[in-house]
Amino acid sequence: MSEFQFGGEFVWHPSAELIAQSNLQQFINRHRLGSYDELMRRSTTNIPWFWDTVLRDLDIQFYKPYSQVVDLSQGKPWAHWCVGGEMNIVHNLLDKYTDTKVDKKLAIKSEIEEGTTRALTYKELRDQVDRMANALRVLGLGKGDAIGVFMPMVPEIVVAMLAIIQIGGIFLPLFSGFGGAAIASRLNDADAKALFTAAGTYRRGKFCPMKPIADDAAAQIPTLRHLVVLNQAGEWLVEDLSPDAGPPTKLPGPFDDAPTERTSAEDPMMIIYTSGTTGRPKGAVHTHCGFPIKSAQDMWHGLDLHEDETLLWMTDMGWMMGPWEVFGTLLLGATMMLYDGAPDFPGPDRVWSLVDRHKVTALGVSPTLIRALRRHGDEIVHQHDLSSLRKFGSTGEPWNPEPWMWLFQNVGRGKLPMINYSGGTEISGGILMGNVLTPMKPCAFSGPLPGMAADVIDEDGKSVRGQVGELVIREPWIGMTRGFWKDPERYIETYWSRFPDVWVHGDWAAIDNDGLWYILGRSDDTIKIAGKRVGPAEVESVLVAHPQVSEAAAIGVPDSIKGEALVCFCVLKKDANGDVALAAELKKNVARDLGKALAPREVVFVADIPKTRNAKVMRRVVRAAYLSEKLGDTSALENPASLDEIKRAAAAQRA
């Protein structure tokens, strides 16, 4: 990919008051760094100093202090952190607040689709976690045991997660929309001993059973000994899976305080499975001193979250943003807002209603969600009091300028910062992020987060500016995955095999003349037409700029002359007419903006585009469906029915 053509004008500037009150500026002042640029320089050239400082400033408490922040003797891919230290992150999330003012604060606000709301203080959450931890110990579960969690986004999912970690177990988050086979493959890989689940959840007013899916999975996992089930009455039940077991029993207890297991700082705490394009899912291993610290640091430095704030991130616990929200808010003493349900049910204003009623201060969305909500117009936004909002966060997909500006102007009234965020499960959060110190342009990132030695390189590994290249990281960071579970070779091959000691992330990125950064899509999604490379996001931005288009996905398909041809799928706004004339107009617009050689061969109108619960468009699956190829792993799809429409469109073209 050659010349970089994004950019534009600055549309948001921080006030002097916001800068002075920001966590980032206070960090700079406290450590006498002088400037943001000096912070970035020192955080990426003096790795031990930076992460030791972060650990101390976040008041991360250790049972036994570490002797060394990081040991690189086995090479950068296998960096070892907090050497010799002993800790349990649950002590830092809950125990250390005992008998402090934080105990009385709300840790969790919660709402489910039919409208029931709940709340838990830090003390109430700790009491429930203690009870569950002791119950797990009675069941014979403990240090090193892997335990899956397949539940809706209700407070009990946080209780289950933290109780597993408190006993020294390994938390395995599972997407609430998985089928039995997807759950079984992940739990078998980790030799799981138990599985948390629930009777079910509601989506668009319809009850979606989860327990039968868990039962189906459990029958395929020989190591599994117990199911812990949240029934529809909100009670916990335990099922013994041994052949001669009796009926389900109530949770053992109640108990007094539960001791928090003393673990090594580098003991595995969580395995999050990510879908690969081929083969079995990859289990990213995370430790007590890794993922939670990076989550909190990103939330603290990038999102500028303060202890008096409420964060709502529209996500699922099966994706990294779920655990990220839990770890980050609790380490910072803030409040998480959980919502379980469809984001546009019973009406398209549900997200804005949640912000209004729960006084959300930081709202995390995906560009895909905003593209979908935007089609319903501005009026539903203005029916709600959104004055509590201080900022937006966004992740999941590259932005297009029009939906970015719609959110900024019509929801944020042109006043709120849009904290763009991009990284991944293996990162424990972000590589790039916005912040409240620097001006913003549509779709852009301020740059790498402190501590992230990111760069953009060409195919020879040389740094480039003003053109599109591969996003890489040149130095280790505390949140990096400790490898893939039982598959170290695959970890090295995936991230460290192209250039010596350089993490290649798999994203196209660019830096403009003002030093702002952009993510332009996955590098393996790149389309090459007659020798010209184009990222899907560039094409999709042209398509959604049309007033009748709300979402789009662009793929490359084989072409005997050009090598690849462009096929585009568009979701239209209400009352739009998806006819031949509109398709021709969209083709013309792409040719006008990107060049005649990149004009789409076909524009297909569909009701929905295949995406994950965290709103990533699955272009690989779109392409496979269109070409009638094997779909591979589709377990992460929230809307598998969308594939049928793509297959029909392809069949119609071939007819």
Which element (helix H / strand E) includes 257? none
pLDDT in tens, 137-193: 999 999 999 999 999 999 999 999 999 999 999 999 998 988 888 899 899 999 999
pLDDT in tens, 344-377: 999 999 999 999 999 999 999 998 899 889 989 8
pLDDT in tens, 510-542: 999 999 999 987 777 778 787 676 778 878 988
* Res 413: pLDDT: 96
CATH number where 291 lies: 3.40.50.12780
pLDDT surpasses 80 at 474: yes
CATH number where 557 lies: 3.30.300.30
pLDDT band at 255 (very low <50, low <70, confident <90, very high): confident
* Res 431: pLDDT: 98
Alpha-carbon distances of 175 from 38, 272, 377, rounded to whole Å: 40, 10, 31
Residues 418, 513, single domain; the answer is yes
Residues 47, 172, single domain; the answer is no
Nearest to 398 by CA among 239, 305, 522: 522
SS3 content of the chain, % helix, strand, coil (to 5): 30, 25, 40
CA atoms within 13 A on the CB side of 598: 23
Between 611 and 24, the more confident residue is 24
Average pLDDT over residues 456-485: 96
Domain-embedded: residue 419: yes
* Res 278: pLDDT: 41
pLDDT in tens, 88-105: 999 999 999 999 999 999
Domain-embedded: residue 502: yes
* Res 541: pLDDT: 87
Domain of 561 in residue numbering reads as: 526-654
Query: DSSP for 57-80?
Result: HTT---SB--SEEEE-TT-GGG-E
pLDDT in tens, 412-451: 999 999 999 999 999 999 999 999 999 999 999 999 999 9
Residues 327, 461, single domain; the answer is yes
Domain-embedded: residue 4: no
* Cα gap 450→417, rounded to integer Å: 19
Residues 570, 627, single domain; the answer is yes
pLDDT band at 277 (very low <50, low <70, confident <90, very high): very low
Give, in degrees to the nearest 5, the angle at Cα 290 between 456 and 324. 80
* Res 225: pLDDT: 98
* Res 279: pLDDT: 52
* Cα gap 217→180, rounded to integer Å: 4
Q: What average pLDDT does the structure give for the chain? A: 93
Enter the DSSP assignment of 637: B
pLDDT in tens, 451-468: 999 999 999 999 999 898
Enter the DSSP assignment of 135: H
Cβ proximity of 563 and 529 under 8 Å: yes
pLDDT band at 595 (very low <50, low <70, confident <90, very high): confident
* Res 536: pLDDT: 85
Helix (H, G, I), strand (E, B) or coil at 4: coil
Give 575-609 as a 3 state SS string: CCCCCHHHHHHHHHHHHHHHCHHHCCCEEEECCCC
* Res 1: pLDDT: 41
Of 495, 521, 547, the residue that ends a domain is: 521
Residues 25, 45, single domain; the answer is yes
* Res 569: pLDDT: 96
Residues 514, 545, single domain; the answer is no
pLDDT band at 388 (very low <50, low <70, confident <90, very high): very high
Residues 356, 390, single domain; the answer is yes
Domain-embedded: residue 121: no
* Cα gap 606→11, rounded to integer Å: 33
* Cα gap 529→191, rounded to integer Å: 45
pLDDT surpasses 90 at 638: no
Alpha-carbon distances of 618 from 228, 338, 519, 614, rounded to whole Å: 32, 25, 17, 11
Give the residue carrying structure tokens 């695959």. Answer: 490
CATH number where 142 lies: 3.40.50.980
Between 598 and 407, the more confident residue is 407
Residues 403, 489, single domain; the answer is yes
* Res 179: pLDDT: 81
Peptide bond into 254 cis (omega under 30): yes
How many separate domains does the chain show?
3
Of 243, 261, 279, the residue that ends a domain is: 261
Residues 492, 537, single domain; the answer is no
Domain-embedded: residue 512: yes
Cα Rg of the chain (Å, integer):
24
Domain-embedded: residue 240: yes
* Cα gap 603→600, rounded to integer Å: 7
pLDDT band at 614 (very low <50, low <70, confident <90, very high): low
Average pLDDT over residues 240-255: 88
Enter the DSSP assignment of 3: B
pLDDT in tens, 2-45: 455 556 899 999 999 999 999 999 999 999 999 999 999 999 99
Domain-embedded: residue 560: yes
Which element (helix H / strand E) includes 182? helix 180-189
Which element (helix H / strand E) includes 215? helix 211-218
pLDDT in tens, 548-564: 999 999 999 998 877 78
Residues 309, 448, single domain; the answer is yes
Which element (helix H / strand E) includes 107? strand 106-112
Residues 423, 318, single domain; the answer is yes
Give the residue carrying structure tokens 């999050």. Answer: 272
Residues 501, 536, single domain; the answer is no
Cβ proximity of 419 and 433 under 8 Å: yes
Helix (H, G, I), strand (E, B) or coil at 30: helix
Q: Is 597 left (phi over 0), alpha (psi -120 to 50) or beta?
A: alpha
Give the residue carrying structure tokens 């992020």. Answer: 433
Which element (helix H / strand E) includes 11? none
Domain-embedded: residue 274: no
571-578 contacts: CB < 8 A, separation 24 or more?
571/372, 571/605, 571/606, 571/607, 571/608, 571/609, 572/548, 572/605, 573/375, 573/547, 573/548, 573/549, 574/375, 574/376, 576/548, 576/549, 577/548, 578/605
User: pTM of the full predicted structure?
Assistant: 0.87
* Res 575: pLDDT: 86
Average pLDDT over residues 216-224: 96
pLDDT in tens, 300-345: 999 999 999 999 999 999 989 999 999 999 999 999 999 999 999 9
Helix (H, G, I), strand (E, B) or coil at 330: helix
Of 479, 500, 521, the residue that ends a domain is: 521
* Res 2: pLDDT: 43
* Res 362: pLDDT: 98
Which element (helix H / strand E) includes 469? strand 469-473
